[in-house]
Amino acid sequence: MLSGGGTRSGPSARDRYDAVPDSGGRGVAVWRTAFAVVGVAMLAWGVYLGITRVPSSQWLGVLVWLAGGIVVHDVILAPIGILVGLLVLPRVPASWRPALRGGMLALGVLAIFAVALFFGAAGRRNPSAVPQDPVAAVVVALVVIAVGVVVAIGWRAVRSRLAA
């Protein structure tokens, strides 16, 4: 069996790909349950607002937008994430991996928001709807994400040196 410590020679699949270890505590289960309850409540609130506040003539457009988000995730973002996970993460120090994973997640979210921002700015009639230059806003967000990744890597390095 290769799950866990591995019984064959060499590192196990879990060790090789730096999987998240089993949590094992009651506190973790309580937090996960709390987050799940909050998530379901937020989803229900969003559905309620969509039904009560969005005009029925726009429901098709909203559904197309939501379906497009799923397609973008499955066709573009997920394969990029898999490729980065297979090609980049094994080649960087293990201490960098959590920060790089977080940065990739943030970049995926930014990509989705950037599409909406660019389309919203393209045909705007009201300049206050998207008041700044969308390209500049996305570039600033990219810089913030990059700085966050570098700071997280540095912080982890400092913590590991202090602990040693």
- pLDDT above 80: residue 108: yes
Position 145 scores a pLDDT of 96
Tokens representing 78 are 């997920």
CB count within 10 Å of CB 103 equals 19
Position 1 scores a pLDDT of 43
- Answer yes or no: are the C-beta atoms of 14 and 20 closer than 8 Å: no
In tens, the pLDDT along 27-72 reads: 888 989 999 999 999 999 999 998 999 898 988 988 998 898 889 8
Same domain, 72 and 121: yes
What are the backbone angles phi and psi of residue 129, rounded to the nearest 5°? -65, -45
What's the pTM value of the predicted model, to 2 decimals? Answer: 0.61
- pLDDT above 70: residue 7: no
Structural domains counted in the chain = 2
Cα of 11 vs its chain's centroid, Å: 28
In three-state form (DSSP H/G/I as H, E/B as E, the rest C), the secondary structure along the chain is CCCCCCCCCCCCHHHHCCCCCCCCCHHHHHHHHHHHHHHHHHHHHHHHHHHHHCCHHHHHHHHHHHHHHHHHHHHHHHHHHHHHHHHCHHHCCHHHHHHHHHHHHHHHHHHHHHHHHHHHHHCCCCCCCCCCCHHHHHHHHHHHHHHHHHHHHHHHHHHHHHHC
User: Domain residues for 4?
Assistant: 1-53
Same domain, 92 and 157: yes
Average pLDDT along the chain: 82
Higher pLDDT, 114 or 42: 42
- pLDDT above 90: residue 139: yes
- pLDDT above 90: residue 3: no
- pLDDT above 80: residue 20: no
Same domain, 105 and 136: yes
Same domain, 99 and 159: yes
CB count within 10 Å of CB 153 equals 19
Instruction: Band the pLDDT of 2: cuts 50, 70, 90.
Output: very low
Same domain, 140 and 76: yes
Instruction: Say which range, 17-21, 109-113, 155-159, has the weakest mean pLDDT.
Output: 17-21
Same domain, 145 and 88: yes
- pLDDT above 60: residue 81: yes
Position 15 scores a pLDDT of 53
- pLDDT above 90: residue 119: no
